[in-house]
Structure 1
Amino acid sequence: MDHLPGGVAEPRTVRLASGWSAGEIVGEVPAPARRGRSRWIRPVAFAAVAVTVGSVAVIVAVVNSGSTPDEQHSPALSGASSIAVLSPAECPVRSTNPPLAPPLHKGDAVVFIEDVTLPDCTRVRTGKTVTKIWRLKNAGTVPWKGYSLRRLDVTQQADQCQTIAHVPIKDTPPGEMVDIETVVTTPSKPGLCYVRFKMVDASGTVLFPGSRPVNFQIIVDTL
């Protein structure tokens, strides 16, 4: 944990496995004033822990300050548009942070809630059609209209999982959660499908350039 002048602690950037983790906030985080200028602080990753008090579930944000053993042994990948061929033994794949950058729209932010279906390293038979669902929350002040998830590897090879190139996101007001789903067709050969998407607006511009891609990781097997 670094400290800014005046004894104010600056959050540390945490590198977690498989893209976003539950409760991870991406977007604009205001920093303490420094010589009359504002500055951006890299988003901090949180693990959301549900605590039940009476009949109310309270979400407690806990900073994850280190890598797990699985993360230490999984390959680290950048946010490049194409990736090397990966094997099932490399699942879960760890994604590194891209360069620090503010969101496209001031005040926009997103929280990854959970993988509703097909959590990382789920085994699926070859030649099957399944549905992947992510749950995200609009944690900012900007309404989401015309947003979508754009697949980074647009030229899909025969040995990759097939999806549509743009997965639409329902219009979502600030404070609301949304389920985003896409149909996935697995290839005819076993392997690891590691497919990544970035959130874009109606013009196709990336909304959160400083965040890791949303992804799914499926182990394709003959079972």
Structure 2
Amino acid sequence: MMNSTFSIFDPMSSFMNLNLNWISTLLGLMFIPQLFWLTPSRFNIFWYKILNTLHLELNILLENKKSKGLTLIFLAFFTYILFNNFLGLFPYIFTSTSHLGLALSLALPLWLGLMLFGWIKNTNHMFSHLIPQNTPIMLMPFMVLIETTSNIIRSITLSVRLTANMIAGHLLMALLSSNGSLLSLTGVSMLIIVQFFLLTLESAVAIIQSYVFTVLSTLYSSEVN
């Protein structure tokens, strides 16, 4: 009886000669935040600096101290688009940002939310944006039409810009690589060099397009507030 009672304190549970009972000593670490016990890597520090710099820049564009939390939404957009853009540079991985469906699903709800918030909360402010200052009376109807059209197509221009830029580079690389089997050894060597420079260019485009999408979205939101 004594043996069966105290046997629960003996780590006899095992899997592949590993004592599973001792895993409980590691469970406490799972409840401690990572930053308290693990030193951030250089990659984490580098990424935090990028996000902090972009956060400060977006705050300047917003020009509204009450909208500090709004930058977190645009930082999430930047991270998500940048991640998907870079994933598309690897072979045999689907480039989701090169399709208009995903780009529209990002831009359209954002634009619609900003428009609803602006016209409900700041109606007079939104009407003032339709007619620039010092506009002649005769041109006011045309300016209202132009500004309205410009506001309506903003979500389309955001998504088409992202999609077109991601498609262009990928399509060019695919067209060049499809002719590799027809080239000589010298031609293949030149093709590899050209593909390397195109890949470098596409990496820059992936960063620039995510940055452009984020900055333009921030500028559109600053007009609403």
**TM-score relative to the length of structure 1:** 0.26
Structure index of larger Rg = 2
Higher helix share: 2
Higher strand share: 1
Larger RCO, structures 1/2 (Cα 8 Å, 6+ apart): 2
